[in-house]
Amino acid sequence: MSRTFHQLTSTRVNSRRLRYLKMAITLHSKSLPFPNSLFLRPLSSSRKIYVATATIHCFVSPSPAMDPQPSKKHVAVCGGGVIGVCTAYFLAKKGAAVTLIEKSSIACAASGKAGGFLALDWCDGGPLSSLARASFYLHRSLSEELNGPENYGYRPLTTLSLTVTESSSSKSSGNSNSILPSWVDGPAKSPRTIGSTETTAQVHPQLFTKTLLSKAVNDYNVEVVIGKVESVGVDEGGRAESVVLEGGRVIASEAVVLSLGPWSGKFEMLSSIFNVSGLKAHSIVLEPKEADAITPHALFLSYHPAQGGKPMDPEVYPRPTVGLLLSLHLGHGEVYLCGMSSEQEVPDDPETISGDPESIKVLKRVARTVSSHLGEAEARVKAEQACFLPCTEDSVPIIGEIPGIKGCYVGTGHSCWGILNGPATGAALAELVMDGHSSIVDLTRFSPARFVGHRKRVLT
Ligand SMILES: Cc1cc2nc3c(=O)[nH]c(=O)nc-3n(C[C@H](O)[C@H](O)[C@H](O)COP(=O)(O)OP(=O)(O)OC[C@H]3O[C@@H](n4cnc5c(N)ncnc54)[C@H](O)[C@@H]3O)c2cc1C
């Protein structure tokens, strides 16, 4: 089965280890005026701030019931990507008093720029199988709870694999019996259905993350602080007791969750135990003039460039119109394309990550080759961007309590499946923090303890 980019990217590894620190210093925290804090870069001055944005409409089939705890446990969740936000949501729903700390803006990195493709069974047979299955169904129930179709474009999809040869003059092998939708009118061959509306779906990842956080803020009082986490404070008994922000501000907490995506590799407490590296991948978002012609079909391409260039595996995801535009009946559906990945150093500031012009050019060429609706004259370019997949040495996410530091947990390394696996990761971490074990997914395989024997050096 052609699971190209999603398969390849999950196998990239790297290695490096360091030490971990016990305490920290400096403080800083920035803040944003209500209600735009989810969407903008931080302004300076006031101390901390909170958010609320998307209206949440209906509550049909709530995600798993979480019994509130008698007294509120304060938990600091660090990192405002999909993993941090899902964790904050489920923790707060379970009765924790949660502070979410993000250094830039919510979903500013991969969680805002991903494809948002979800698959029930594509991880079957591997270590992610139960996580992915649980998460696929959690997405479905969250969509009912949060009005996903309207708020963040949740919808089931049909998914096809196909071969496209750029130099071929022939048009697609589409005919009245073909499974290819009519908008795929380029030189496409060998189309195959690799996912049905029962097994594949999509969300707009940035809107999903922000909608979930809005719910967490509005209904469960999650507090959002904009500031860079420099370290975790640990007491004499080896238990996490605070997080320390750039500039010196200390936020006391009884438990800490580190969900820093590819920046986990730059955080000493984590990089002393395992490596998380970044794989840079590119994407473009196009707004076709004839948006109504684009049907909900995700495409996994085996793409052969002209003149014998290296074959590529780009992915194409049409997305529906959502939110205000939908309610105003303004049908501006869009098409997201991604691919062109390479290992690169992750820059400190997520807002400075931009696409390499050559990679963007290639994606535009792929778009116009696949469909005449996606050529320059027929589609406006809405975004040209890049972001980093968080990759672990064994291609398995790291979810669990950090060995040797009680009350300090990590959720990272989700590679190309973080949007899919965010909800189950968040729900499992919430259970682990609040109850001491996870029932939704067995986290043994994901434990950071698996790296301990490999540690090269530990500084005291
Ligand atoms: C091109 C592309 C397409 C993808 N498509 C899909 C897809 O279709 N389906 C799917 O399931 N997955 C997909 N993924 C993967 C998915 O996007 C990632 O696995 C997921 O977003 C990782 O989420 P995260 O929360 O771990 O990390 P991130 O989204 O990187 O979030 C980490 C956050 O932590 C913050 N942070 C870092 N350091 C600090 C600090 N010291 N203090 C405070 N905050 C900090 C950052 O600013 C950032 O906001 C795709 C990824 C890419 C690149």
| Pair (286, 402) in one structural domain | no
Residue from 29, 82, 108 whose mutation best tests the ligand 1 pocket (most atoms within 8 A of CB): 82
CATH number at residue 385: 3.30.9
Residue 170 lies in a domain: yes
What gap in Å lies between CA 76 and CA 66, rounded to an integer? 19
Question: Going by C-beta distance under 8 Å and a sequence separation of 6 or more, which residues neighbour residue 168?
Answer: 187, 189
Quote the pLDDT of residue 132: 98
Atom of ligand 1 nearest to the CA of 413: 26
Residue 333 near residue 291, CB atoms below 8 Å? yes
**Confidence class of residue 306 from pLDDT cuts 50, 70 and 90?**
confident
Short-list 206, 346, 341, CA closest to 276? 346
Identify the CA nearest to 380 among candidates 289, 259, 318. Answer: 289
Residue that finishes a domain, picked among 355, 370, 390 = 390
Q: Which residues pair with 408 in a beta bridge?
A: 256
Q: What is the pLDDT of residue 399?
A: 98
Q: Which pLDDT tens digit goes with each residue over 67-97?
A: 544 689 999 999 999 999 999 999 999 999 9
Residue whose entry in the numeric block shows the structure tokens 């996994």: 300
Could you tell me the residue range of the domain that residue 214 belongs to?
A: 14-113+205-275+393-452
CA of 177 to the centre of ligand 1 (A): 40
Verify that 296 and 339 share a domain, yes or no: yes
Domains in the chain, number = 2
Report cis status (omega within 30 of 0) of the bond before 35.
Answer: yes
Ligand 1 centre from 425 Cα, in Å?
Answer: 13
Determine the distance separating the centroid of ligand 1 and the alpha carbon of 69, expressed in angstroms: 30
Q: Is the CB of 400 under 6 A from ligand 1?
A: no
The reply to whether ligand 1 has any atom less than 6 angstroms from the CB of 102 is yes
> Same structural domain for residues 413 and 287?
no
Residue 220 CA to residue 376 CA, distance in Å, equals 45
Task: Judge if 167 and 57 occupy the same domain.
Answer: no
Last residue of a domain, one of 364, 390, 416: 390
> And the tokens for 151?
């708020």
Is 139 a domain residue? no
CA angle 53, 56, 57 (to 5 degrees): 145
Q: Is 84 in the pocket of ligand 1 (CB under 6 A)?
A: yes
Ligand 1 touching residue 261 (CB < 6 A): yes
CA distance 361 to 354: 13
Under 8 Å between Cβ of 75 and 433: yes
DSSP conformation class of 295: -
Chain mean pLDDT for the chain: 84
DSSP annotation of 114? S
269, 402 Cβ separation under 8 angstroms: yes
Task: Answer yes or no: do 306 and 427 share one domain.
Answer: no
Nearest protein Cα to ligand 1, atom 31 = 81
> Does residue 115 line the site of ligand 1, with CB under 6 A?
yes
Q: Is residue 285 part of a domain?
A: yes
Report the C-alpha gap between 418 and 425 in whole angstroms: 9
Q: Is the pLDDT of residue 57 over 80?
A: no
Residue 307 and residue 183 in one domain: yes
pLDDT of 136 strictly over 50: yes
- Using most ligand atoms within 8 A of CB, pick from 4, 8, 102, 316 the residue to mutate for ligand 1: 102
Atom of ligand 1 nearest to the CA of 388: 53
Report the share of the chain in percent with pLDDT over 70. 79
In angstroms and rounded to an integer, the radius of gyration of the C-alpha atoms of the chain is 22
8 A C-beta contact, residue 182 and residue 293: yes
- pLDDT at residue 369 tops 70: yes
Pairwise CA distance, residues 31 & 46, whole Å: 6
CATH number of the domain encompassing residue 418: 3.50.50.60
The answer to whether 325 and 341 are in contact (CB under 8 A) is no
Domain annotation covers residue 124: no
116-129 pLDDT tens trace: 999 999 999 999 99
Alpha-carbon distance of 100 to 84, in angstroms, equals 8
- Domain for residue 137, yes or no? no
The last residue of a domain, from among 390, 410, 443: 390
Residue 414 beta carbon below 6 angstroms from any ligand 1 atom? yes
Residue 287 C-alpha to ligand 1 middle, in angstroms?
24
In a domain, 136, yes or no: no
Please check whether residue 167 lies inside any domain of the structure. Answer: yes
CA of 170 to the centre of ligand 1 (A): 39
328 and 379 share one domain: yes
Q: Are residues 360 and 400 in the same domain?
A: no
Tell me, yes or no, whether 291 and 271 share the same domain: no
Query: In angstroms, rounded to a whole number, what is the distance separating the alpha carbons of residues 138 and 69?
Result: 22
Distance 108 CA to ligand 1 centre (A): 8
Cβ contacts of residue 42 below 8 Å, gap of 6+?
30, 31, 32, 104, 105, 226
Residue 343's pLDDT band, with cuts at 50, 70 and 90, is confident
- Please indicate, yes or no, if residue 123 is contained in any of the structural domains: no
Q: What is the pLDDT of residue 219?
A: 98
Q: Is there a single domain that holds both residue 29 and residue 108? A: yes
Verify that 253 and 299 share a domain, yes or no.
no
Domain check: are 290 and 271 in the same one?
Answer: no
